[in-house]
Amino acid sequence: MSDFSVDCNIRQKPIDTIGLSEEARAKIMRCLSCGENPYTVLTYAAECIGKLSGDVTFGERCRKAIGAVYAEGLADPQAAELKRQELSERRERIKSALWNTSDSDTRERLINSVRHIDTELKKLDIIIEQGANRR
C-alpha cells in the first residue's frame, strides 16, 4: 500500500486509539498506585489526549500551564519539582550545544541561557525546600 493518496498528499498514519488509551489507563493507574507526582500524571494524560485528538501541542501547553500557574504562581512544591526536572534537562542540552559550537555569538547566547536557567532553578529550589519544611 502506498503512503500517498490519490492527490499525492502524504497520508497520516492511523493512530491506534484503543491501544494508546489502554496503555495510558494502565500507566496512569500504576502512577497513582505508586504515589507519583500528580502533575506528572496529569501531564502524561494530557499528552495522551493530545495524541488521540491529533493536537500534538496539547501536552506541552498543559506542562507550561502547570509550571506557570502551580509552580510559579501557587508555589506548589510538586509542580516545582516537575518544572525543575524539565529545566535541568534543558540546561544539560544547552550545555552540550555550548561545547559543540565555535561561533562566539552563539556561545554567548547559550551561556546567557544557562545563566537564566540557573536563576530559575534557584527559585524552584526555594519553593521545593519550603514545601519540604511544611511537611
Range of the domain at 25: 17-134
pLDDT band, very low/low/confident/very high, at 2 (cuts 50, 70, 90):
very low
**How confident is the model over 81-107, as pLDDT tens digits?**
999 999 999 999 999 998 888 889 999
Nearest to 59 by CA among 69, 68, 49, 67: 49
Question: Is 1 a member of any domain?
Answer: no
Question: Is 126 a member of any domain?
Answer: yes
Identify the bridge partners of residue 4 per DSSP, sorted by sequence position: 10
Quote the number of domains for the chain. Answer: 1
Rounded mean pLDDT of the chain?
A: 86
Question: Is 12 a member of any domain?
Answer: no
pLDDT at site 53:
87
pTM, two decimals, is 0.72
